[in-house]
Structure 1
Amino acid sequence: MEKYDLDKLNELDIVEVLEAIGARPSKSNKLLHCPNTNAHSHGDKYPSMGFDKGKNICKCFVCDLSGNPVTVATKHFNDFKKACEFLHETFGVPYLSGEVSHQPHKRIQPRKPKEKQYWFFDSKKKFSKVLIKDFLPKYPNMSELQKLKLIYTFVYRFSLTTDQRGKLFWYSSRGLSGSKFLKYLGFLSKSDIDNLVEQLLKYFSLEELQRFKLLDLVGGWKYGYNVVVVPSFDLYSDMVEGFMLRYTDNRPKGKEVNVSCTDIAFPVPFGLGRKTLQKCKTLWLTEGHIDGLSIATQNECFVSFAGTYSYKEEMLGLLRGKIVIVAYDKDKAGQEAQTVLIERLQKAGVDYKIASWDAKNGKDLNDLLKNAKLQTIQLV
């Protein structure tokens, strides 16, 4: 039996855990409809599940469903083992052994195991350039996927039109002021976000902006400001299917947040685009886009995952036929994630090498860049 990583499981967002076991959002930004519907009159028509994001706990004011992620899942399933396995698999959290079993659930439902269908890139498929203004009149009749791409692309392109000085100053502090990729990254300040929300509500419905995780339950922006917008492009168009917000205030925790709806579209990482797949024979895989931009200063192609476990395993099929260089951070978390990635690359039939360097020269590729030590990397 795999050993459960209870510490990591209890770090999962309590609201996401509740929604995974069947909780529904309400008009209140402090309450959910409790998933334990059998214990409520009328299925908890009036929301009674409160939560504390700071303490990462919840409590239903009607039934006894309460606690941290592991506790509440255990009460829901009435089985500790089943609860832990559900959390590990649903959120892709590695077991203590390092093994990862990621089977995302939209709601509690039985799933039949099936063979992985690895993605592939169709180089003959037409690439489309999209003008948002041409598609706004068609928005009401679009599919959910089309709406998601249109709205996310709207946000991304808006972020390219703002005052970029905050972004440029921050990248300069990372030794990346000359990066040719900065033009693909947007920026949003406090005043930009106020304007963005106004524009979004002008063209799109509040319900869908909430559904796509942009606005909160009272119609406000869900995230902070002074953020870089790092896009995840569609492989066959210039639209985006998700993006990562990178805070520039050098906060110790919560530096990045991924914005996507993986039940609609699982975005590919920054750097993994049509040109990369067509022209690059060797790809560096990095934990974050800053490391990707750092190795790109050596004229190398890169793919940057927005977090060590943020990629979909089937996505690795896109890397077949390439030489992949894994260049994860030299800390414990990075090395553990690297081990998992290598196992998955082997399973997907992807050729790889490992970037090795003396950790005294830097924990990551950006450290090596700033310390003028990129040339010390060896491939093994």
Structure 2
Amino acid sequence: MATTLEAAAMRRAVTLAAQGLGHTSPNPVVGCVVLDAAGHIAGEGYHQRAGGPHAEVHALAAAGERARGGTAVVTLEPCNHTGRTGPCARALIDAGIARVVYAVADPVPGHTGGARTLAAAGVDVEGGLLAAEAAAGNEAWLTAVPRRRPFVLWKYAATLDGRSAAADGTSRWITSPEARADVHRLRAEADAVVVGAGTARTDDPQLAARGLAGEVTQPLRVVVDTNGTAVGPGARILDDVAPTLLAVAHDADTALPADVLRLPRAASGRGLDLPALLTALYERGVRSVLLEGGPTLAGAFLAAGAVDKVVGYVAPVLLGAGPHALADAGITTIGDALRLRVTDVARLGPDLRITAVPATIPAPEEN
């Protein structure tokens, strides 16, 4: 049975893990706290970047000899395989750790068994401590790995009457500086930011994460441009701030200086095959996608059942006319409406940020 000190250490480990968001893909974010034999914090660490030392290695290095006979508290089951780094289960054993408490079991086929290896070496092992809290911080990776496609967060900004722009097409700025700053945080935490041809053509967005403190790993910028006509020479998205990928139909004629991904057209004849797009992104190491627009592409993702989370920034503004935040999503009757479960509501300046997930996703259970 986990102790109060171990529970506090796990909460600290969850906080540490969050510092790796946006930097670790295709790996998960992981935090670790090492307690000495007396239950005091001896070392802590988190997985900082793919290919670098894992959280346990950082924490053990910080703890030194104080780790011997102590407890390692980890947000994810210690790995038991050798990749670009060695197995963390072996590192814990070699450091003389007497007990390991982890939150979430490793779901990757071939990576499991860390807990078994530890137990076979005489280490006391307990899993499931604060599993819901740890899983929430690692939701993108834990969703992407079993499905073999990236976790998709659809973000939109709208007026109180659901408009994304005025009747003349102007949309800067519907939301406040506080809300826009929060969007840059979402970009920095995502592996890829995806927009459609309409957004690329109308807004000429840069899609980089800006105005954030500390080191920022820029997301891959993806334009879903079926016919290859929306992005022209000199477009901001073609600058050297971040990598760019143009997703076009296999028969599109384009010769832009950017990485081009050719995909089949959707079976409906409109747009690209979105499952094929997501599969291709996953194979490139993308585990989380921030879907920024516009309404047509958002509708297509929803119709394909490819939205895992929704973040809506709602401004206390009324327009009465203009495009809606969401276009056709293949829903024709109220019985087919996609019901959402609100998980958070926050005030950002004058605006509201509403976070929700499809109601078919069960609410997490806390241990």
Tell whether the structures are fold-level matches, with TM greater than 0.5: no
Higher RCO (C-alpha 8 Å, min separation 6): 2
Q: Tell me which protein shows more helix as a share of its residues.
A: 1
Task: Report the TM-score, using the length of structure 2 for normalisation.
Answer: 0.31
